[in-house]
Chain A
Amino acid sequence: DTEVTQTPKHLVMGMTNKKSLKCEQHMGHRAMYWYKQKAKKPPELMFVYSYEKLSINESVPSRFSPECPNSSLLNLHLHALQPEDSALYLCASSQRAQGASQETQYFGPGTRLLVL
């Protein structure tokens, strides 16, 4: 399996809801990423996990809570979101080779989130 998968494809939630986005890869990659992409804008990095440990948090509000339960899975838990959080959420993974500081990232198709 050489793809990053994301579920759900679409999500509509109210501001009081709790929901989770899921990302999965079976390429043996040990770095996983969450990005947020607003319409007509580039992806913006939110979080990076390296060997299942959070290594980068780009000052993301606490209403977004990432979780990496194992090397293949990455979750993004959502709680009390605002309408301005509506966006495409992209997951990516990379090999995380020894000594590497940057690698090719493999992107999922994204989850389109609408917060009402």
Chain B
Amino acid sequence: AQRVTQPEKLLSVFKGAPVELKCNYSYSGSPELFWYVQYSRQRLQLLLRHISRESIKGFTADLNKGETSFHLKKPFAQEEDSAMYYCALGTGGFKTIFGAGTRLFVKA
């Protein structure tokens, strides 16, 4: 079955603390993984994708095929990182499956 699991609905951290948003996937083929973010009152937008191996706004994510994970990490959280984060799995043919999302709240 094709599935994306984000185990935390809500993650609350203090400003300056490290943050890790977990994402696990289930897919028998070659996956393409994305992190999308939705800030308050803004549209859903791409944060990063595994194929580009970039660091965006200090966030990184590494695809671990052995653990079928694509966790999102940032060493020092900022208040402006507070948002809804969705992990998404591309299964080919332009079909995308979104995880349930994790709301990150960064406290001052």
Contacts and interface: CB of A to CB of B under 8 A. Distances in A.
A113 to B, nearest CB: 17
A109 B43 CA distance: 5
A45 B95 contact: yes
A106 B86 CA distance: 14
Contacts of B43: 107-110
A107 B44 contact: yes
A102 B100 contact: no
A101 B44 contact: no
Interface string A78-116: 000000000000100010100001111111111000000
A21 to B, nearest CB: 15
Given A101-B32, A107-B44, A110-B43, A43 B93 contact: no
* Of B44, B86, B90, B101, most A-chain CB atoms within 10 Å: B44
Q: How large is the interface on A (under 10, 10 to 19, 20 to 34, 35 or more residues)?
A: 20 to 34
Nearest to A4: B43
Contacts of A105: 46, 96
B93 A56 contact: yes
A102 B89 CA distance: 9
B44 to A, nearest CB: 4
A43 B49 contact: no
* B45, B92, B95, B101 interface centre (most CB from chain A within 10 Å): B95
A104 B93 contact: no
A42 interface: yes
15 contacts: A31-B94, A33-B94, A43-B44, A43-B86, A43-B98, A45-B96, A55-B94, A90-B44, A101-B93, A102-B32, A102-B90, A102-B91, A106-B45, A106-B46, A107-B45
Interface of B: 32, 34, 43-46, 49, 86, 90-101
Interface of A: 31, 33, 41-45, 48, 50, 55-56, 90, 94, 96, 101-110
